Structure 1
Amino acid sequence: MSSATPQPRTLDHPDLAEIRLEDVLHALSDPARLQVVHYLAHGDEASCSAIDLAVSKSTSTHHFRVLREAGVIRQVYRGTAKMSCLRREDLDTLFPGLLEAVLRAYETRCVRRA
């Protein structure tokens, strides 16, 4: 009988050197993805279900995948929950000021709409 411990599920993330500006800008170009980034910018990490997006579950999954594959967020499994956090330090290292400018613009737009 084998006593091998099952390996935790892992997700692919680009290494710091693989993160490209055009991929990050594309990921940040969608309002739902901006909502996710804004939410994560104001906390440590969150499960995908904690962020209330006005889209279907499959579309939400797509948005999180785009953000992860672009290097904007990091996702890990904790039990059955997929937890996400913003790769703020990595993005600030590669593109100083970009994330803050995007978040400021998003917040300004939200205030104007209110």
Structure 2
Amino acid sequence: MLPEPAPPEIRLEAVLHALADPVRLLIVRALADGHQEMSCIAFDLPVTKSTTTHHFRVLREAGVIRQHRRGTSRMSTLRRDDLAALFPGLLDSVLTGAARQALRLPRH
């Protein structure tokens, strides 16, 4: 496993910061859409590889996702249970709001 905060160390402001970025929100939405685990290269993101790495690191260090290596791939999973226990309803509200916004606004 790659370094990540233990549940008691996850801070609300770090989670909100991580979820505030449109690219990171795309990653979280993809993981929440029924994917238990995805490799970093499976995401179709509108940024460079180095920027993608940065976004995954921010999400991991905030406690939003968990990552581990499988061969040469980094596999990512959403820490839904940890976030729900710490901040009940937060992730579901953010995901619902993001889905509604995607219907209203064109993707940039």
TM-score, scaled to structure 1 = 0.90
Q: Which of 59, 78, 86 lines up with 1:94 in the alignment?
A: 86
- Structure 1 residue 58 and structure 2 residue 50: aligned? yes
- Structure 1 residue 30 and structure 2 residue 17: aligned? no
CA distance in structure 2 between the partners assigned to 1:11 and 1:92 by the alignment: 21
Give how far 1:11 is off: 1.1
- Structure 1 residue 71 and structure 2 residue 50: aligned? no
Structure 2: tracts of 5 or more residues without a match: none
Q: Which of 4, 10, 15 lines up with 1:13 in the alignment?
A: 4
Structure 1: tracts of 5 or more residues without a match: 1-9
| RMSD of aligned Cα (Å) | 0.8
TM-score, scaled to structure 2 = 0.95
Larger radius of gyration: 1
SS of 2:52's equivalent? helix
Quote the residue 1:41 is aligned against: 32
SS of 2:20's equivalent? coil
The count of aligned residue pairs is: 105
Structure 1 ranges of 4+ moved more than 3 A: none
Quote the residue 1:5 is aligned against: none
1:76-112 Cα shifts (integer Å, max 9, x gaps) = 0000000000000000000000000000010001111
